[in-house]
Structure 1
């Protein structure tokens, strides 16, 4: 294996850790900065909007540069914003820093896999991409619980400072170790959006965004669900995140294989149906006898990790079937759709917290998941 791929994987690791770490530290940030949990959700909203809209724009703007400059620069921006999150006072400054962080994270993610392919020897491209993706998988299973543990006992700012240092080390090593002659992608925005003309593509992308909206309406506010709704100690959050991470690894693995066996649409319907059930069941967990709450919730989050991450492979399967020659373009737009769905989930979850009870996060998410199921059913699998 080309060891240079490991530095790309490290960058993917840092980005994946941060995107889930915010879920466990949101209440602590809200308390320290004097805002409500619903207002703290703007940290997620700003990040998701910047990631979803900024990534294709920056990819176009910097498409003429070599990929070493892009991945190293994007990871450097991400790392510097992590450091700022660790020291900046005031909620608005934190929102601004995390929004800028999303630009670095999105640009890195959109460029890293293509860079891995360029580095790979003939016949090794699949394993090269897997190496980079492995960074994200390890982050979800191990990095997120570990960072949540650091945040719990040393403070959320220390966790962000550590992530910032890690990302800057990865950026510097990418600059030193990667070749400077890997050409970028100079396509214009119009060319990147041309894939939307493929019949069925808009509906399939919409299904991705709505499914993420459903999933994260609950997941964004996992910390208060754990403590306020279920009455569990917040020191158990790293364990909850670990259960989710283990499920995510299995979901990513089996989602793709199930799509190969029964097709992308059928897999999405199965996974979406399970998502509806799990979200609707959230309030029921609080009704269990006290000794049963923790084991039941851990099992619930294990399954939730499976379905939350299990829908990525079948969606890519469907996109590839619709436009086999334009997978990079459709995958990029899928990422945009998912992040816009994530932004809306922060707003919807905030409205639930302000106007209803926290126990409604799951059922409201279930209603949105039903809408995603309908869209997924209507979207064709082939042109």
Structure 2
């Protein structure tokens, strides 16, 4: 069976997303090892995760500007090259401050990558299958949650955290080589400038897209960030059982991501997003009541993953439609701001989840997450102003 030419762009993007996901998420499993190696506190080690997230928020809108006039292959090659260099610095560094700078740079490249990847997918995808192309690209990130993160934690804790970042560096360089060999060089970028960012920020309709993105991501991570105390302290699960639950959660996420792409192409992004956000909110609400029944709680948790990741391609398509309609001269800038909204949503979720945990108990985190999902749902336009085709 002959592959459609679009796959020669989309598959390297999926592999790149996997590298980004492992670099970002595996830190949670190696914090103790890292803190001991750098002779810092766990709180300071946690700052390395925060700096990465800040890098994503800053990098997505600002660092796409100098790359915007290049074709996508050159953009991605530069992006992956700097990302690999940043991880190499983490591998070589014995200084907390140098490691912190390298993590921030890697976060910036993470943010830039998902702008490049989102626009490339929609440029090269077969007509009517744009959402499926986005879902395939995002699947690399989802797979990193299932396999890359546990494997990264095992490597980091067995051979030292530095060896993990050497592995990420080598894998990224392999992906970079594949990009240079197979990705076509004729996919054009769109020249942007700082005025384009201002144009996006001035549009109330684009703010609707930004808030929906942040709300969706916030609803997932308000609960997911504190999943351990929920299942272990309230549900009576041990850590081995929780690891199995998280593995199943990730598998449902991959399935939901791919099915969500098909649904978005069939139903249209807004109709699909209305359905998936509703079911995400319902699944989160079910978690609030089901912790006394462990198997029901696990089933609800898996549905949170399925419907949550089913939202991703629809949200990306909705932001693209909004950018084309409301900021047609600065589409790339608006997309970059929307990508930053993903991590802004995670930051807000971590804060709100922490407030709920401190004041009411972790059992209320699913309820807070449900309310955030409902806010995103309410913000969706009532009528379909545009569709996929």
1:37-70 per-residue CA deviation (whole Å, 9 max, x = no partner) reads xx76654543333212321211102223454443
Counterparts of residues 52-131 of structure 1 (less than 5 Å): 52-85=57-90, 95-112=100-117, 114=119, 124=126
| 2:41 counterpart (23, 31, 34) | 34
Once residues 145 and 283 of structure 2 are traced to their aligned partners in structure 1, the CA distance between those partners, rounded to angstroms, is 22
Q: What's the secondary structure of 1:46's corresponding residue?
A: helix
Q: What TM-score results when the alignment is normalised by the length of structure 1? A: 0.77
Deviates more, 1:200-209 or 1:22-31: 22-31
In the alignment, does 2:370 pair up with 1:366?
Answer: yes
Report how far residue 15 of structure 1 moved.
Answer: 1.7
Match of 2:340 in 1: 336
Counterparts of residues 278-289 of structure 1 (less than 5 Å): 278-282=283-287, 284-288=289-293
Match of 2:145 in 1: 144
Match of 1:346 in 2: 350
Match of 1:382 in 2: 385
Report how far residue 381 of structure 1 moved.
Answer: 3.9
Deviates more, 1:71-80 or 1:228-237: 228-237
The total of aligned residue pairs comes to: 371
List runs of 5+ in structure 1 lacking aligned partners: none
The alpha-carbon distance between structure 1 residues 263 and 129, as it changes in their structure 2 partners (threshold 3 A), is: closer
Report how far residue 340 of structure 1 moved.
Answer: 1.5
List runs of 5+ in structure 2 lacking aligned partners: none
Deviates more, 1:127-136 or 1:333-342: 127-136
Once residues 264 and 113 of structure 1 are traced to their aligned partners in structure 2, the CA distance between those partners, rounded to angstroms, is 15
In the alignment, does 2:136 pair up with 1:134?
Answer: yes
In the alignment, does 2:276 pair up with 1:275?
Answer: no
Report how far residue 303 of structure 1 moved.
Answer: 0.8
Kindly indicate whether the alpha-carbon contact (under 8 Å) linking 1:44 and 1:343 is maintained by their aligned counterparts in 2.
Answer: no
The alpha-carbon distance between structure 1 residues 251 and 169, as it changes in their structure 2 partners (threshold 3 A), is: same
Report how far residue 167 of structure 1 moved.
Answer: 1.0
Match of 1:10 in 2: 15
Report how far residue 272 of structure 1 moved.
Answer: 2.9
Match of 2:303 in 1: 303
Q: What TM-score results when the alignment is normalised by the length of structure 2? A: 0.76
| 2:218 counterpart (213, 225, 229) | 213
Kindly indicate whether the alpha-carbon contact (under 8 Å) linking 1:9 and 1:131 is maintained by their aligned counterparts in 2.
Answer: no
1:104-142 per-residue CA deviation (whole Å, 9 max, x = no partner) reads 122222224555677x6xx8577799667535314524x
Once residues 296 and 91 of structure 2 are traced to their aligned partners in structure 1, the CA distance between those partners, rounded to angstroms, is 34
1:210-261 per-residue CA deviation (whole Å, 9 max, x = no partner) reads 2212221222333454444434333445533332233223333443454566
1:274-315 per-residue CA deviation (whole Å, 9 max, x = no partner) reads 333333444545423xxxx3x445423321112211222333
User: CA RMSD for the aligned pairs?
Assistant: 3.9
1:56-100 per-residue CA deviation (whole Å, 9 max, x = no partner) reads 211102223454443122112323333455565677665543322
Q: What's the secondary structure of 1:186's corresponding residue?
A: coil
Deviates more, 1:316-325 or 1:55-64: 316-325
Report how far residue 203 of structure 1 moved.
Answer: 1.7
